[in-house]
C-alpha cells in the first residue's frame, strides 16, 4: 500500500517558527519548568511544518491531563475531549472528515488506563490516525498518582512505599493489537522525534508513537531524580545500539530498557477506505 501523497497544501516558510503554529493569546502556558511535554509539542509542530500541512487541515484531539491541555495551544482545529476518550472522538472525526490529518495527543494514564480499550480497538481497526502518547510515568495534573507506566519501586502519591505493579510496554501493546506503525523516542532527541512523527503522520493507517517525557515537579521531586535539566538530560544516559537500530535508555531515568525509533511498520488495509468501499458497493447492489 502506497503512502499518502504529499499534497501541495502549503509549502510554508523555509524557517520553522513554532509560534506561528500556536495560539499566542493563550500564553504564558501552564506547563511546569522542565516538563518534556512542551518539547514534544514543538517536535509535532516541526513535523507538520516540514510535511507542509495546512493548519486548516490539521485536527488535534486530546483528552484529560497535562498532555490533554497541549491541544488548546495549537492554532488549528482542536478538540478537548473527556478522560480516556480522545481516540473514540478521533475515530468519528476521521470517518466523517477523511480529508483531515487527525492527530491525538494523549498521556500514559489517559491512553493506557481509562482509555486502554479505545487504544486496543483503534490499533485493530487501522484507521488513518496518528496517536502521540506522552509517557511521564505519572498522573501529573491531578496529584501525582501511579499510572500504568510508573516504574516499579518508584514513589507516587498513591504508592508511598514504592510501586509494586508491573508496567505496560505501550509499544508492544499497540503492536500486538494491530497498529501498522509503532515508534518510540525521548524528548531530548528532538530532531529524531520530529522525524519519527513525520513518518507516523505520513503513514497510511493507525500510527502510535510513545514519547518518553518527564514530570519534573511531581514525579522527579518525589523520586529524587534531580532538577529539570538533570532529569531531561538523564534520558540520554547509557544509550547503546539495539536490535531495532535505535537506542536503549537505562538508569537513572528509566529502570527498564526501552528500544526507540520505528519499531513496527507494515502495510495493510486502512479502515476508512475499506468502510467507504463497502458502503459504495452495498448501495450499488441495493
- Write out pLDDT tens, residues 171-207: 999 999 999 999 999 898 899 999 999 999 999 999 9
Under the banding of pLDDT at 50, 70 and 90, the label for residue 2 is very low
Q: Which of 90-94, 170-174, 209-213, 281-285 has the lowest mean pLDDT?
A: 281-285
**Position 236 confidence tier, pLDDT thresholds 50, 70, 90:** low
Map out the domains of the chain as residue ranges. Answer: 18-285
Q: How far apart are CA 282 and CA 286, in angstroms?
A: 6
How remote is the C-alpha of 281 from its chain's centroid? 35
Predicted confidence band at 230 (pLDDT cuts at 50, 70, 90)?
Answer: confident
255-268 confidence digits (pLDDT tens) = 455 788 999 999 99
Q: In the CATH scheme, what is the code of domain 18-285?
A: 3.40.50.970
DSSP SS3 for 181: strand
Q: What is the DSSP string of 202-271?
A: HSSS-EEEEEE---IIIIIHHTT--SHHHHHHGGGTT-EE-TTSSEE--TTT-SS--B-EEEEE-----H
| pTM for this predicted structure | 0.88
Amino acid at each position: 500500500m502506497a503512502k499518502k501523497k504529499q499534497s501541495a497544501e502549503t509549502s510554508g516558510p523555509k524557517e520553522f517558527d513554532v509560534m506561528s503554529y500556536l495560539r499566542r493569546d493563550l500564553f504564558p502556558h501552564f506547563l511546569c519548568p522542565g516538563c518534556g511535554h512542551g518539547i514534544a509539542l514543538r517536535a509535532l509542530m516541526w513535523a507538520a511544518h516540514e510535511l507542509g500541512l495546512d493548519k486548516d487541515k490539521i485536527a488535534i484531539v486530546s483528552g484529560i491531563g497535562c498532555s490533554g491541555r497541549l491541544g488548546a495551544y495549537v492554532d488549528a482545529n482542536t478538540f478537548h475531549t473527556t478522560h480516556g476518550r480522545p481516540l473514540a472522538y478521533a475515530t468519528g472525526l476521521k470517518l466523517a472528515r477523511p480529508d483531515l490529518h487527525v492527530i491525538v495527543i494523549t498521556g500514559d494514564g489517559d491512553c493506557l488506563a481509562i482509555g486502554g480499550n479505545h487504544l486496543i480497538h483503534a490499533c485493530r481497526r487501522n484507521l488513518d490516525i496518528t496517536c502521540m502518547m506522552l509517557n511521564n510515568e505519572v498522573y501529573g495534573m491531578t496529584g501525582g498518582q501511579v499510572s500504568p507506566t510508573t516504574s516499579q519501586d518508584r514513589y507516587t502519591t498513591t504508592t508511598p512505599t514504592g510501586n509494586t505493579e508491573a508496567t505496560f510496554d505501550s509499544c508492544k501493546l499497540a503492536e500486538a493489537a494491530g497498529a501498522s506503525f509503532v515508534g518510540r523516542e525521548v524528548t531530548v532527541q528532538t530532531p529524531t522525534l520530529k522525524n519519527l512523527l513525520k513518518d507516523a503522520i505520513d503513514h497510511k493507517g493507525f500510527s502510535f508513537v510513545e514519547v518518553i517525557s518527564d514530570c519534573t515537579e511531581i514525579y522527579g521531586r518525589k523520586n529524587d531524580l534531580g532538577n529539570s535539566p538533570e532529569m531531561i538530560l538523564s534520558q540520554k544516559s547509557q544509550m547503546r545500539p539495539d536490535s531495532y537500530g535505535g537506542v536503549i535508555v537505562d538508569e537513572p531515568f528509566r529502570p527498564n530498557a526501552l528500544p526507540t525509533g520505528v519499531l513496527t511498520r507494515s502495510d495493510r488495509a486502512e479502515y476508512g477506505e475499506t468502510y467507504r468501499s463497502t458502503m459504495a458497493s452495498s448501495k450499488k447492489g441495493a
